[in-house]
Structure 1
Amino acid sequence: MSARRALRAEEARFPLARPFAIARGTRVAIDLVTVEIEEEGRIGRGEGAPSARYGESARSVLAQIAPMREAIENGMGREELRASMVPGAARNALDCALWDLEAKLSGVSVAARTGPVPDALVTAVTVGIDTPAAMAQRARDVVADCGEAGPALLLKIKLDREDVVERVKAVRAAAPGAVLIADANESWDMALLGRVMDGLAEAGIALLEQPLPAGGDAALEGFACAIPLAADESAHVAGDVAHLAGRYDYVTIKLDKSGGLSEALALAEAARGVGMGVMTGCMLCSSLSVAAGWHIAAQSRFVDLDGPLWLARDRDGGALFRDGMLHAPVGLRWGYGFP
């Protein structure tokens, strides 16, 4: 049994720098849950970003963590945790804190266990739902901020059922050199997908995330889509891959959906095993979440870790966005093999 630990969990509100609009609504602030596990003077940290889509709140996440306190403090490991809790933000916060603690106690970094990670990577920058003109202006602003020094810009266009092709074409005209991803957040049906597919392909959409509601994936079986499709809300754990293969081309992995880095790594391996691509995403979150997600992003074709960029104030030492590249949140020292 491990030496006695101390578990702390708390919630905090983070205002957004600007409203975040997707098909399910608009947000101006987020509530995050931070977990700390201390052992032998070392502290491992993890973050959970509760999602209303999955019936979560900061209060419910803290309520899920509370009954795990005794087991965690008495040495529960990551695999035991994975078997004891359902996927979600609560398990994610605990799992990531255990990864960080393990690195700090052992002197072996998370990257040494999961594979090398880059200092910087291309992340999608989100263009929230608005009028076509406003979305085009947002795209122009991002292009101007990034300049021409870096790699091709990656933009993620949030969509609902209205003005789908018009919005995409407006963003494309404003950012002709950008790689574009579209995300419908479960708001479409097959009829709408069929109507807009050619227009999206003509605009050069590289990937379309979750056009249909989770649970409606069977309609995609055998559907010849002109654009690669990614399962987001339909993809949580490694066991989901069996029914997603043949319907989607990619899985979008978010640690809060998978319930931690441990399950996210298993999901990525399962997806690759059946020839599916991997995209890393995140909820609206701080750089503490991004620090853990970075280890999945290093294995991904597409990356969307711009959650902290929406915050009015990130955690000190967080990720920085320069010249179209997201630079790792090294100041947080998450997963490092030393304190």
Structure 2
Amino acid sequence: MEVEPFSLPLSTPLETAAGIIETRRGFLVRVDIEGTPGLGEATPLSGWTESRPACEDALRAVDDPTSALSDNRLADTPAARHAVSLATLDARARAAGRPLYRYLGGDGRVEAVPINATVGDGTPEAAAAAVETAVREGYPAVKLKVGARDPEADLDRVTAVRSKAPDVELRLDANGAWSERTAKRLLPEFADRDVSVLEQPLSAGSLDAHARLRDRGVDIALDEGVVEHGFDAVLAADAAAVLVCKPMALGGIDVARNVVRSARIAGVDAVVTTTIDGAVARAGAVHLAASLPGLRPCGLGTGGLLGTDLRSDVAPVTDGKAAVPQGKGNIPPR
């Protein structure tokens, strides 16, 4: 197995709760499965996965990719497992002569999957203008970042967005910024403004507190909470109506697919998103979404945040949809 480091600068530094991200650094992984090559990507992200050094150590310790996956030795390094799993699935899909989404179990040809636009923190006027642009570009859903400002300011932003875009599906992502009391006060206001989903309103620690926010007119989604507690615990606590599944943080598109399918059986919805990954991992996430019919619009349009990428024109976004690669495996080799 070959491990190749890479570094991808962002087009504009991104401020997050964990700090400012200027560059995404990770590893391309190349495997050979019974004579067929496969390519995977590990792009660790602080707060979501293992550290970059831990990821590299785990990858360089792998001598047999198949054994490393079967004996679960990569369970504590999800980004490393993601890379090995994606590379292995890529090779097997190529050997089978099928696009990855078909190899995963997708039924029929899927040309594209709907995705959401993301609008960051800004004034009410700026948020409304950005959402108007997203609607014109064909996005069926928009996720508005909230929680960085006073709650009343966020209400003003949501009101402004709705005045300009009354019909688009509107989601909010608070990244754990609020207290339970604040969230309970805001939820009826959001419901009145036809907000469909409120993602991670509270910190990831308390599932019971999220459960107490359920059934208030807006679906509660968990993102960080899924990674911290695991799907079984989220389900047992009845803490979410929607799971936000990041393959890189969960340990692979195979793991994420099992989570989505199990959630659906339990009556819980799910979406697939990325962690500002390179083109190899983003393509894998698009294949994952394509293999699961009926998903809500997913968060797969993050390639525009990168100044450079591992590949060009992979799963391009047009009219609010990401094109699904149709060649053998994940993406065409080069």
SS of the residue aligned with 2:224? Answer: coil
Shift of 1:167: 2.4
In structure 2, what is the Cα distance between the partners aligned to 1:52 and 1:138?
28
Q: CA deviation digits over 1:58-104, x for unaligned, max 9?
A: 33321221212x233xx526433x45432521111111111001122
Superposed structure 1 runs of 4+ greater than 6 Å apart:
336-339
Greater shift in the superposed pair: 164-173 or 196-205: 164-173
Contact 2:204 2:228 in 1 (8 A): no
Q: CA deviation digits over 1:120-168, x for unaligned, max 9?
A: 1210111112333332332233334x1xxx5x63111112241321222
Shift of 1:330: 4.7
In structure 2, what is the Cα distance between the partners aligned to 1:130 and 1:26?
17
Identity %: 27
Inter-CA distance 171–305: structure 2 relative to 1 (3 Å threshold): same
In structure 2, what is the Cα distance between the partners aligned to 1:60 and 1:129?
33
SS of the residue aligned with 1:54? Answer: coil
Q: Which amino acid aligns with 1:306?
A: G
Alignment of 1:221-232 (within 5 A): 221-223=211-213, 224-232=215-223
Tell me the equivalent position of 2:207: 217
Contact 1:136 1:171 in 2 (8 A): yes
Inter-CA distance 172–292: structure 2 relative to 1 (3 Å threshold): same
Tell me the equivalent position of 1:208: 198
Contact 1:179 1:206 in 2 (8 A): yes
Could you list the runs of 5+ residues in structure 2 that have no partner in the other structure? none
Tell me the equivalent position of 1:4: none
Tell me the equivalent position of 1:306: 301
Tell me the equivalent position of 1:323: 319
Inter-CA distance 199–23: structure 2 relative to 1 (3 Å threshold): farther
Contact 1:122 1:303 in 2 (8 A): yes
Tell me the equivalent position of 2:184: 194
In structure 2, what is the Cα distance between the partners aligned to 1:158 and 1:330?
33
Shift of 1:220: 2.6
- Out of 26, 30, 33, which is 1:36 matched to? 30
In structure 1, what is the Cα distance between the partners aligned to 2:98 and 2:127?
44
In structure 2, what is the Cα distance between the partners aligned to 1:261 and 1:184?
25
In structure 2, what is the Cα distance between the partners aligned to 1:109 and 1:76?
24
In structure 2, what is the Cα distance between the partners aligned to 1:236 and 1:29?
23
Q: Which amino acid aligns with 1:155?
A: V
Inter-CA distance 266–40: structure 2 relative to 1 (3 Å threshold): closer
Tell me the equivalent position of 1:278: 270
SS of the residue aligned with 2:67? Answer: coil
Contact 2:43 2:277 in 1 (8 A): yes
SS of the residue aligned with 2:3? Answer: strand
TM-score by length of 1: 0.84
In structure 2, what is the Cα distance between the partners aligned to 1:26 and 1:287?
21
Shift of 1:252: 1.1
Q: Does 1:263 align with 2:255?
A: yes
In structure 1, what is the Cα distance between the partners aligned to 2:21 and 2:161?
22
Inter-CA distance 165–49: structure 2 relative to 1 (3 Å threshold): farther
Tell me the equivalent position of 1:15: 9
Number of residues paired by the alignment? 323
SS of the residue aligned with 2:64? Answer: helix
